[in-house]
Amino acid sequence: MKRKFLSLLLIGALSLLLAGCSFKDTMLYLYGGDDFVQSEEADYARCDGANGVSVIFDQNIWSIPTLAQPDTLSMVTGNKLSYTVVLLQKTDAYTDFLAQSGAELEDTTGTVKYDLELTVPNADAKAVRYDCGSYQTLFAQLDYDCGETVYVTAAARTSDYQPIVALLQGVYPTGHAPAELPAADTVVDAVAPEEQQ
């Protein structure tokens, strides 16, 4: 029975590979994931978070935003093999967001810190990245020309943090959208965790 199952598994994997799928696609097919088929064409949408942070995002890459907690907007992309979570927050509780967040991370795990160059429209952006072994963490403080600040906490179970950087190009305080942002075809509402199926 075991030999028969392994044969079927091998045949299924081989057929996917012959169809032009990569090893990653094969693993996603076998173990599940949300990006097995993905459009190459950007499908921009806008979400105005209840916390005063808006974001224009590509729906082919990022899931519908959720309100992780009242003052936080959560963005998620990826699958079981490789995922990324970004939290966008507005608060005045931080005296030094990057230093405080980094200190908390270093207290709990071994990390290597890297400065990160980040450009965000209409904002002075400061960011750091921590290599935490099997994942990376990124903290950013976006001080916008309008006088408001957005704090970013992101974690990625992948070595590629460029999707986070690209996402932050479309983040802004609600009502202060930079002119350079791509046009969003749709507006979506952030979903509270208890409303998710």
Does residue 74 sit within a domain?
yes
In the chain, the percentage of residues whose pLDDT exceeds 90 is 46
Residues 65 and 106 in one domain: yes
Tell me if 37 is assigned to some domain.
no
64 in a structural domain: yes
pLDDT on residue 135:
81
Same domain membership, residue 115 and residue 25:
no
Residue 156, CA distances (Å) to 42, 75, 134 in order: 21, 12, 9
In a domain, 23, yes or no: yes
Q: Same structural domain for residues 63 and 153?
A: yes
Mean pLDDT of 71-95: 87
Instruction: Give me the domain span that covers residue 64.
Output: 44-195
What does the pLDDT read at residue 92?
A: 73
Q: What is the pLDDT of residues 52-80, one digit of tens each?
A: 999 999 999 999 999 988 899 999 998 87
Q: Same structural domain for residues 168 and 85?
A: yes
Same-domain pairing of 121 and 142: yes
User: pLDDT band for position 25 (50/70/90)?
Assistant: low
- Residues 169/127, Cβ–Cβ less than 8 Å: no
Mean pLDDT of the 5-26 span: 48
Residue 86 has pLDDT above 60, yes or no: yes
Residue 76, pLDDT score: 93
Same-domain pairing of 71 and 21: no
Looking at per-residue pLDDT, the higher value among 14 and 57 belongs to 57
Say yes or no: 68 and 26 in one domain: no
Question: Which residues, 6+ apart, have CB-to-CB distance to 151 below 8 Å?
Answer: 88, 89, 90, 91, 94, 97, 139, 140, 141, 142
* Together in a domain, 143 and 189: yes
* Residues 24 and 50 reside in one and the same domain: no
Band of residue 100 on the pLDDT scale cut at 50, 70, 90 = confident
Q: In whole angstroms, give the CA distance from residue 157 to residue 9.
A: 27
pLDDT > 90? residue 48: yes
How far apart, in whole angstroms, are the C-alpha atoms of residue 23 and residue 46? Answer: 33
Alpha carbon 177 to its chain centroid, in Å, reads: 20
- Is pLDDT above 60 for 23? no
For the chain, give the mean pLDDT.
Answer: 81
The predicted structure's pLDDT at residue 19: 45
Asked whether the beta carbons of 71 and 53 are under 8 A apart, the reply is no
Same domain flag for 24 and 68: no
Stretch 45-53: mean pLDDT: 95
Q: Do 85 and 106 belong to one domain?
A: yes
The mean-pLDDT minimum among 47-51, 67-71, 165-169 falls in 67-71
Q: Is the model's pTM score more than 0.75?
A: yes
pLDDT-derived band at 20 (thresholds 50, 70, 90) equals very low
Give the CATH number for residue 185: 2.60.120.1690
pLDDT 10s digits, 147-165: 999 999 999 988 888 999 9
Q: Does residue 142 belong to any structural domain of this protein?
A: yes
Contact 87, 79 (CB under 8 A): no
Residue 180 lies in a domain: yes
Structural domains in the chain (count): 2
| 135 in a structural domain | yes
Within 8 A by CB and 6+ apart from 107, the residues are: none
User: Could you tell me if residue 38 is inside a domain?
Assistant: no
For residues 74 and 139, membership in a common domain is answered with: yes
